Chains A and B, each alone.
Chain A
Amino acid sequence: MKNCLVVDDSRVIRKVACRILQDLKFATAEAEDGLEALTACRAKMPELILLDWNMPNMNGIEFLKTLRRERDGERPIVVFCTTENDVAHITEALGAGANEYIMKPFDRGIIEAKLAEVGLA
């Protein structure tokens, strides 16, 4: 079973995403912001990270840039999942090392499709 870290400051979004990912046979863990996510990754690098953009303490893009510099930090597949739905943000995310990008609102079909894109479905 593959591990997914869901990083989002909304408890509701984390809950919805985790339920979908568990249905898709992922073991899930949660983090409320980038700093918490970084701590989790340093303890155990997940295969997949579902990442919000706007969060307190450390936002998604700062987290991603930091993660990619960490030891084994290039390994996780990072899928942004955010309301920042414009081309500039998408381009910035891809430039920082994101593998895929989900524009909120999302549903199970979108998560499944995006996981297929990154070879995790």
Chain B
Amino acid sequence: MTEDDFFFLAQLVRRRSGLILPANKARFVTGQLGPVARRFGFRSVDGLIAELRHGRESLARAVTEAMTTNESSFFRDKAAFDHFRHIVLPRLVEDRAKTKRLRIWCAACAAGQEPYSIAMLLDDAKLAAQGWSIDLIATDISAEMIARGEEGLYTHFEVQRGLAIRRLVAHFTQEGDNWRIGESLRRMVSFRQFNLLDSYGWLDDLDVVFCRNVLMYFDAKTKVSVLDKIAEILLPEGALLLGHTESVRGLSDVFVAIDDAPMLFVKGKAAAQRLTATG
């Protein structure tokens, strides 16, 4: 791939998804594009890029999706889920006792491991049995990942990373060498393809947003824009969970970090003080 081709590709991916492709990732990019080139009938990646320059929408979408990182696992960064279970959820159950309604969004759900991990924690809390209405919305830029999440079928390797064996037996059924998520958890999650650069108008009144290991791939301007939009759709005192290398520092004045709970941020100082006080 020529320098010019890489620059063109990086611009295209950045414009469409916000993802930054550093120049030292040329080999990775070429590797990711190989399967796309074959799928679209090109003999080489160079041929694919030549066609891409003509503005073919389906190809541009496939190339952008191929650049996303879909690495995930059940309960990835266990501490984030501990914060949700022990800090965020008890407060929400108290605050929403009258409406008995919770809305949670996984902004980049990859193949569904994160929303299903959250669903397992909600199942532990037995909220549905107590009449709670829970919207668990899972989005990803990749149509392929959304399809995988909806299918809920995971390999032997995927279910052994982050998932305790008791949870596997309780929530999955075996299909040959693979394991399928149980129907009750499957029904808890609504999957939808969504680009974080698009309008968040259809998302509103959220209690919790998981936007983990996504901001790290964006430039500062895009990070600010995404955090601003999340702040708008979160209810007052709503919670935001980021990846372990991510922070709001220097990017948002709305979100406040919680002491001793890395990865957890809440909307507004009052919410932070309340959580710290009840800690």
Contacts and interface: CB of A to CB of B under 8 A. Distances in A.
Contacts of B166: 94
A100 interface: yes
Contact of B164 (A86, A87, A110, A117): A117
Interface size class of A (residues with CB under 8 A): 10 to 19
Contact of A107 (B157, B165, B169, B177): B157
Given A86-B174, A87-B174, A100 B165 contact: yes
B78 A90 contact: no
B28 to A, nearest CB: 20
Contacts of A107: 157
Interface in A99-113: 100-103, 105-107, 109-110, 113
Nearest to B159: A103
**Size band of the B side of the interface?**
10 to 19
Contacts of A116: 78
B160 A106 contact: yes
A44 B177 CA distance: 37
B169 A103 contact: no
Interface in A60-96: 85-87, 90-91, 94
B161 interface: yes
Given A86-B174, A87-B174, A116-B78, A102 B160 contact: yes
Contacts of B162: 113
A116 B160 CA distance: 11
Interface in B237-253: none
B274 interface: no
B156 interface: yes
Contact of A91 (B73, B161, B169): B169
Contacts of B164: 100, 117
A113 B161 contact: yes
Contacts of A113: 73, 160-162
Top 3 closest pairs, chain A to chain B, by CB: A101-B165, A110-B160, A113-B161
16 contacts: A87-B174, A90-B168, A90-B169, A91-B169, A94-B165, A94-B166, A100-B165, A101-B165, A103-B156, A106-B160, A109-B157, A110-B160, A110-B161, A113-B73, A116-B78, A117-B165
Given A113-B73, A113-B162, 7 more contacts: A87-B174, A90-B168, A100-B165, A103-B160, A109-B161, A110-B161, A113-B161
